Structure 1
Amino acid sequence: MTYLRRGPVFRSLAGGLGAALLLSACMGGTAGNKDDGKDAAAGYDPKANVTLTWWTGQTEQAETTAEQLAQEYHGLHPNVTIKTSPGAPTTDDLLTKLSAGFAGGSYPDISYAYGSWAGELGASGHTQDLTSFVADPAFGWNEFSPAARETATVGGKVIGIPALVDNLALLYNKKLFDQAGVAYPTDQWSWDDFRAAAKKLTKPADKIYGTAYSVSGSEDTTWHLWPLLWQHGGQILDGTKPAFNSDAGVAALETLRQMAVDDKSMYLDQTDEKYWRLFNSGRVAMMMSGPWSLLDIKDAKLSYGVVQLPGFNGDHETVSGPDVWVLFNHDDVNRAGAARDFIKWLTSAQTDAKWNLKLGNLPLRTTEKDTPEYAAYVKEYPGGDKFFANLANAKQARPTVAGYDELSRNVGDAISKVLQGTESPKQALDEAAKKSADSVTN
């Protein structure tokens, strides 16, 4: 990806950081709690001179594009100056920087944020409530995928606007399928079809595996389980109570266990970094991954295909990892209003086509499919149109609650134990649910 990471779209937070931020929020922080129920932009004067701080969370290449966009917006609105910076050495460090900023009263007007941070940021008391803003038909809120809209919503309040959308689909190496005489995957595949093909494609003597899975215990481990859970009718939470250890969750994890332990057709990656490299080098035949992989595959010059995830009883639901632009309140109606107007412009179909598509990411809005930029993107990254269509299968989001990160680590550890054959799905998920019971809050 062109954002500051590869592989998993959401990484686990460093130990205790989410809890520390939540604690600061509960205490109100030294800067005070800005979330007093008032519209932060009430009385906004669009002609007022305003300076905004935008933490983009971008790499050097993308940061240059962000600076150009800020200048373009300034040209359209000379009274608005936008100061851009990555905000932190890496995107992973942004939450630490924001937490310190809340405590010291120095934080940006707009910041890039992983969707998994939404619960913590929403609980900080420093975010704008954008619910009424996005409800304006002119904003086109319904042009974003349901999962993206849900990720930007915390406790019934919209705190940000989707910055990046993606989803998991199935990528496959055509050469390995041809060599094994196995028919290519289709959008109608079941998990039984997937398992059968993985067994046929595995060649131990040649160190070739049918598929792969991360057992690092990170969010990359965890979020690959959620589509199977949802396809079986399960939930991650029931209110604030962990529910992933239901019969649906056990059945979902058993599907993976059979391939890893019984069939030995699944390469187990102790990190998040090897399995996609092995796919690109022709050692893994099938990989559940997202559109960011297309950038690496292009460099590898691989003959590949993309289909939606295998399904259970015809349900091919997937998971999306939307990231968001979070807007913060500084008790200045003109800063709040200008930040809203800028983000509306940045995420419009016209501007986003020049921004996300240029960086190799999926378009944010459904209306972008008819743009020349989208046609160029699909031509440069074959399979990108499959990922874009697959957004329709991203029907729900991971919980935007404080404590999700700890839950994710617990579930990731459970999955890792099961796939390495040390615990049963029921035992491991029950343990994870027990450990997570006190960490998840609204």
Structure 2
Amino acid sequence: MMISFLRKQALRASGVVAAVALVGAMSGCGDSQGATTLDKEAKVELEIWSGQTDEAEKLIEQLAGEFEKDNPNVSIKVSPGASSTEDLLQKLSAGFAGNQYPDISYAFGSWASELESSNRTLDITDEVKNPEVKWDEFPESARLTAQPTGNKTIGFPAIVDNLSLIYNKTVFDKAGVSYPTGDWTWDDFAATAKQLTDDATKTYGYAYSVSGSEETTWQFWPHLWQSGGSILGNGEKETAFASEAGVSALTFLRGMAVDDKSVYLDQTDTKFGELFASDRIGMITSGPWQLYDLKTAGTKYGVVQLPGTDGDHTTVSGADLWALFDHKDKNRAYWATEFTKWLTSAEQDERWNVEIGNLPLRSSELNSEVFKKQVKEYPGLDVMAANLENAKARPTVPGYAGLSEEIGKAISEVLQGAGDPKPALEQAAKDADESLGE
């Protein structure tokens, strides 16, 4: 079993890919009309941009081949679509402009609103209402990502995840400190991080990204939400994070980083994982993609849900999608939907997401023998799966990339002692509002 490098990259890049003017790219382009009435027996050729590489790409090609055997009138061409997942949005934009785009593409959840506004996506709202689809088995955060404005359903969830608290048992044992529990508060967390920090051995209680990337930003959202704050307000047309709740959340993190000096501040987004695996950091907040590296390193670890505020353990999810696109052809639309529904069914997902180390897409898979086997190999996956009930999705609005960049810079400056929470967040909000208005 392996966890694809794609997923690690996706989490760090999914909110910060340069925005592409999809609406403008498509406004003057029209498709030639395909089949206007559905003929399920007609020969159909579908194209999928998988966003995958190596073993994951081979696996989805194998699955597509099985679907073709069961449906001999359907031919499926599978390719990565671009040299990296991050490049898919730009490739899609160019393809829309030239009428050369796939039927299905992997897409970061943060692209959802931009894709919907392109007027190139299918709307499968009626299809997912079919009881056979079992739409409610997907986590709410993933369903909402697939319905970015609430007006359309533009695809099926492709990957689900969340941030959980991972702790290093060796560091805790050396310090003689009790392990975290599922009912921890953030005060418990901060106090323990301070206990674990040891200047002599250069051991830190916690780690946080100060690269200014989406890694910096999305680690902050649970603090904001649990403090009673919101990312957006006014119908999602402007930011709301520079609130009393936002200031309180950032002040808390600043206290750990600047006053307690219990936080390893990572400029790279990658070093903290290596230091944690080598027993130099006591706790990190991360997701299922981290567990493969920890097993490989032989790290003794445990997983619990994030600490909470007044019993609220809200975490953040960065669900991604299989986006479906409209070619004005009833037959292609039908079979693109059928294939994606089949791919995301519990039976196939156990061979796809679960097999490559991601969390199951559906609640019905949690008791499957396949997932139980993975949990034995990678303890904590079951905790992360259960933690999906606490997960909220990041915004999918156009302009999120700019918003993420602005607040990421503010958080980084404050945690490095170069700014104060209130003015830093207010300036970030002012700049981010411009991104949302573009």
Whether contact under 8 Å (1:172, 1:285) holds in the other structure is: yes
Distance 1:437 1:29 in 2: 28
Aligned to 2:93: 99
- Choose which of 391, 401, 412 in structure 2 pairs with 1:405: 401
**Pairing 1:175–2:170 present:** yes
Aligned to 1:298: 295
Tell me, what secondary structure is at the counterpart of 1:18?
coil
Distance 1:33 1:249 in 2: 49
Tell me, what secondary structure is at the counterpart of 1:127?
coil
Aligned to 1:431: 427
TM-superposed CA distance for 1:201, in Å, is: 0.4
5 Å-filtered alignment, 1:211-250, equals 211-238=206-233, 239=235, 240-250=237-247
Distance 2:61 2:353 in 1: 14
- Shift of the 209–121 alpha-carbon distance from structure 1 to 2, 3 Å rule, reads same
Aligned to 1:187: 182
Distance 1:393 1:329 in 2: 34
Aligned to 2:4: 2
TM-superposed CA distance for 1:44, in Å, is: 2.8
**Deviations 1:205-225 (CA, angstroms, capped at 9, x unpaired):** 111100000111111100001
Distance 2:222 2:81 in 1: 33
Give the TM-score, by structure 2 length.
0.95
**Pairing 1:141–2:135 present:** yes
TM-superposed CA distance for 1:136, in Å, is: 1.4
Tell me, what secondary structure is at the counterpart of 2:121?
coil
Specify every segment of 5 or more residues in structure 2 that has no aligned partner in the other structure, as ranges.
none
Aligned to 2:323: 326
- Shift of the 42–202 alpha-carbon distance from structure 1 to 2, 3 Å rule, reads farther
TM-superposed CA distance for 1:253, in Å, is: 1.0
| Matched residue type, 1:413 | K
Whether contact under 8 Å (1:12, 1:218) holds in the other structure is: no
Whether contact under 8 Å (2:31, 2:328) holds in the other structure is: no
Tell me, what secondary structure is at the counterpart of 1:436?
helix
Distance 1:389 1:356 in 2: 16
- Shift of the 357–29 alpha-carbon distance from structure 1 to 2, 3 Å rule, reads farther
Aligned to 1:44: 38
| Matched residue type, 2:107 | A
- Choose which of 346, 350, 353 in structure 2 pairs with 1:353: 350
Whether contact under 8 Å (2:196, 2:282) holds in the other structure is: yes
**Pairing 1:163–2:165 present:** no
| Matched residue type, 1:18 | A
TM-superposed CA distance for 1:46, in Å, is: 2.1
TM-superposed CA distance for 1:29, in Å, is: 4.4
Whether contact under 8 Å (2:32, 2:328) holds in the other structure is: no
- Choose which of 112, 125, 139 in structure 1 pairs with 2:119: 125
Aligned to 1:77: 71
**Pairing 1:88–2:82 present:** yes
- Shift of the 180–32 alpha-carbon distance from structure 1 to 2, 3 Å rule, reads same
Distance 1:441 1:341 in 2: 37
- Choose which of 208, 211, 223 in structure 1 pairs with 2:203: 208
Moved more, 60-69 or 396-405: 396-405
Whether contact under 8 Å (2:183, 2:307) holds in the other structure is: yes
Distance 1:33 1:432 in 2: 45
RMSD: 1.8
**Pairing 1:112–2:106 present:** yes
TM-superposed CA distance for 1:45, in Å, is: 2.4
Tell me, what secondary structure is at the counterpart of 2:316?
coil
Give the TM-score, by structure 1 length.
0.95
Tell me, what secondary structure is at the counterpart of 2:322?
strand
Aligned to 1:372: 369
Aligned to 1:37: none
Tell me, what secondary structure is at the counterpart of 1:360?
coil
- Shift of the 268–159 alpha-carbon distance from structure 1 to 2, 3 Å rule, reads same
TM-superposed CA distance for 1:54, in Å, is: 0.6
